[in-house]
Structure 1
Amino acid sequence: MAKNLVIKVTAGSDAPERCSQAFTVAAVAAASGVSVSLWLTGESAWFALPGRAAGFELPHAAPLPELIEGIQTGGRITLCTQCAARRGITEDDVIPGVRIAGSQLFVQEALAEDTQALVY
């Protein structure tokens, strides 16, 4: 089993099941001791902002704020630089613990030894 997991989530409220699945997998992996790096891209970028996750609802799914908390306990959440810029989001806007970084870092993380990468 990979010791590191990099997950890129492109979906937000536009595709709630895919979005929830990415956050759920990341939270479960983090709770299992896997080092998790969750990347918010596309419409999921909005969940880097305070309060946005609380407005996300999907029947029979764990609440997004709880999943984010679990991910941050055992991993890291990164907002794509370009996605943030397109939405006018800056480092001053995001929830504590979320960083903004670009493709170079994503590639570096995804290609690291003992790493599995997933895209949702």
Structure 2
Amino acid sequence: MRLTVLAAAAFCLALPALAGPDDFAAGPRVPSYGKTVPVPGAVLPADARFKVAFDLAAASEGEAVNRNLDSAARLFNMHALAGVPDENVSVAIVVHGPAAMDVINDAKRDSPNPNAGLVAELVAAGASIQLCGQTAASRNITQDDLLPGVTLSLSAMTAHALLQQDGYTLNPF
């Protein structure tokens, strides 16, 4: 019982050190998206390099930006703020299935794409965004229908295999 009380007290004393929702802010690599918060005491190796692939199958909900695209922006921003040089952070996003709607232009969607600004900032930050060619064919999407900077791959499976061979790890979140 005493140990439980001590643990609870320690947790409560630590709470003021935790950030709240108002402490999150976008960062330098993707300036309008990908809000993060610094984590005091979190130390990364000086030579840390990140090559991270995101698998994007779920489409955004309503007029919101795609949560997983925003996660890729967070990866860029949090590592930049943690002091990792830009050239040491590479992001690849493989899009397939319903998420194809999040990387097509307004004309193809017949409505404004709420992800267009985020995709543009991700591409400007150096992200590779590839739409599965099999998904594109099944949905009658051509290269001309894609947002600027988005490319077609043979398939999502092929894109992931090639990224893995190039040293990318798959983000599990």
TM-score bracket, shorter-length normalisation: 0.7 to 0.9
- Rounded to whole Å, the distance in 2 between the matches of 1:83 and 1:119 is 22
Cα distance change of structure 1 residues 39 and 15 upon mapping to structure 2, 3 Å threshold: farther
Q: Greater RCO between the two (CA within 8 Å, min separation 6)?
A: 1
- Rounded to whole Å, the distance in 1 between the matches of 2:172 and 2:145 is 25
- Rounded to whole Å, the distance in 1 between the matches of 2:69 and 2:133 is 20
- Rounded to whole Å, the distance in 2 between the matches of 1:119 and 1:42 is 18
The 5 A counterparts of 1:55-74 are 55-56=113-114, 64-73=115-124, 74=126
Cα distance change of structure 1 residues 16 and 80 upon mapping to structure 2, 3 Å threshold: farther
TM-align CA RMSD = 2.7
What residue number does 2:53 align with? Answer: 6
Which one has the largest radius of gyration?
2
TM-score using structure 1 length = 0.74
Contact conserved, 2:102 with 2:113, CA < 8 A, in 1? no
Matched, 1:75 2:127: yes
Aligned residues: 111
Cα offset, 1:70, TM superposition = 2.1
What residue number does 2:170 align with? Answer: 117
Matched, 1:29 2:75: yes
| 1:4 match: secondary structure | strand
Contact conserved, 2:60 with 2:102, CA < 8 A, in 1? no
Amino acid corresponding to residue 69 of structure 1 in structure 2: A
- Give the gaps of 5 or more residues in structure 1: 57-63
TM-score using structure 2 length = 0.54
Matched, 1:86 2:138: yes
What residue number does 2:99 align with? Answer: 44
Identical amino acids, percent of aligned pairs: 23
Amino acid corresponding to residue 100 of structure 1 in structure 2: L
